[in-house]
Structure 1
Amino acid sequence: MAGIILTPSAQDYLADLLSKQDTDGVGIRVFITQPGTPYAETCIAYCKPGEEKPEDRMIALEAFNVWVDAVSEPFLEEALVDYATDRMGGQLTIKAPNAKVPMVNEDSPLNERINYLLQTEINPGLASHGGDVKLIDVVEGGIAILQFGGGCQGCGMVDVTLKEGIEKTLVARIPELTGVRDSTDHSVTENAYY
């Protein structure tokens, strides 16, 4: 079983839990929320027949089936699900060393590296203001054209956010970039945060 390993003790523990379910044929589904970001969380959930997704990969174990989320699968490489008994009873642990590893690197296309930084570092900060930013294009001279949306649209602080926050982060992390420009029309102010 490539990718994810369930130890025999984890399989026994999960099989026992699943045997107590009302429905027959209940398996488990393994997935990661926000894979490839610092906020990645590995999760195991009950998976009743019909709840699996068509693109999930099924792993048939002796006592039950494991459904692995297709998007999460590359991040579950070398993941280990274990059950260790202790004085308090026992605990199921999931170690997924690659859950937070980005799927982009220096060789990835420029727009993928920019989008990755926008999704993992820039947008989580803007989300607290109900806003987001996305890449429209990279033009001659290494200028990234960005579009603000949500609460950023029409916000009076956008220029400061763009120059002090986003531009500094992107130019420091992506050597090919020399600057960023805003493509958004800030005359629309109905959802503005400030």
Structure 2
Amino acid sequence: MNITITDGAQEYLSSLLEKQGVEGIAVRIFIQQPGTPYAETCLAYCRPDEVNETDEILNLPKLKVFIEKMSVNFLDEAFVDYATEKMGGQLTIKAPNAKMPKVTADSPIEDQINYVLYSDINPGLASHGGEVSLLEVVDGQIAVLKFGGGCQGCSAVDLTLKEGVEKTLIEKVPGLTGVKDSTDHTVTDNAFM
């Protein structure tokens, strides 16, 4: 895991911890809803009685940081900085892998599929208010997908599935041979077309 917390951020966080007046207080970093489009990177105080034995520990010169085990992969390449400005300062956290951890050819096929869905396919569907998610992988080679939002009940969903989603997934995920749609498209309440 590679997390960078700049000297400026360490100074700032350390000063906040001192103001708490609690012996052994530290910082906790975690991702709320990791691996989803709604993922958010969070920093919180971590009192000694709130430490989990599964936490990863980052001992920095100016403070101790506990990283929630479930968030570790999603925090790889995270960058925490503090910039001083005229009206004070701002702490910024960038976690490029929060919504989807980096995948490699060795990653499970589910992770590879989700990575392509969230990084390549869903941004295009979002312009129509739609999205697609993975439900399961059958026989290690067929992705069962669920469309939502404006895609559910859309008259062009078959074309989107075959020419867009399936084509892209098969091209980018080795071993994947096809996709199936589990969505009930008779429900057309939010359909784009």
TM-score (norm 2): 0.62
**In the alignment, what sits opposite 1:17?**
16
**In the alignment, what sits opposite 2:162?**
163
The Cα shift of 1:166 comes to: 0.7
Structure 2 counterpart SS, 1:148:
strand
| Per-residue deviation, residues 21-71 of structure 1 (Å, max 9, x unmatched) | 5x646532334578789x998x56342549967454344667654221323
**In the alignment, what sits opposite 1:137?**
137
The Cα shift of 1:172 comes to: 1.9
Q: 1:15 to 1:121 in 2, by over 3 A?
A: same
Letter in structure 1 aligned against 2:43: A
Over aligned residues, Cα RMSD in angstroms?
4.6
**Does 74-83 or 130-139 show the bigger shift?**
74-83
**In the alignment, what sits opposite 1:72?**
71
The partner residue of 2:45 within 41, 44, 47 is: 47
Of the two, which has the highest radius of gyration? 1
Partners of 1:49 and 1:191 in 2: how far apart? 46
The Cα shift of 1:153 comes to: 2.4
Is the contact between residue 138 and residue 144 of structure 2 (CA under 8 Å) also seen in structure 1? yes
Letter in structure 2 aligned against 1:155: C
Structure 2 counterpart SS, 1:180:
strand
5+ residue gaps, structure 1, are none
Identity of aligned residues (%): 53
Structure 2 counterpart SS, 1:133:
strand
Q: Matched residue pairs, number?
A: 190
**In the alignment, what sits opposite 2:113?**
114
**In the alignment, what sits opposite 1:192?**
191
Letter in structure 2 aligned against 1:170: L
TM-score (norm 1): 0.62
5+ residue gaps, structure 2, are none
Partners of 2:100 and 2:187 in 1: how far apart? 38
For the pair 1:183 / 2:182, whether they are aligned, the reply is yes
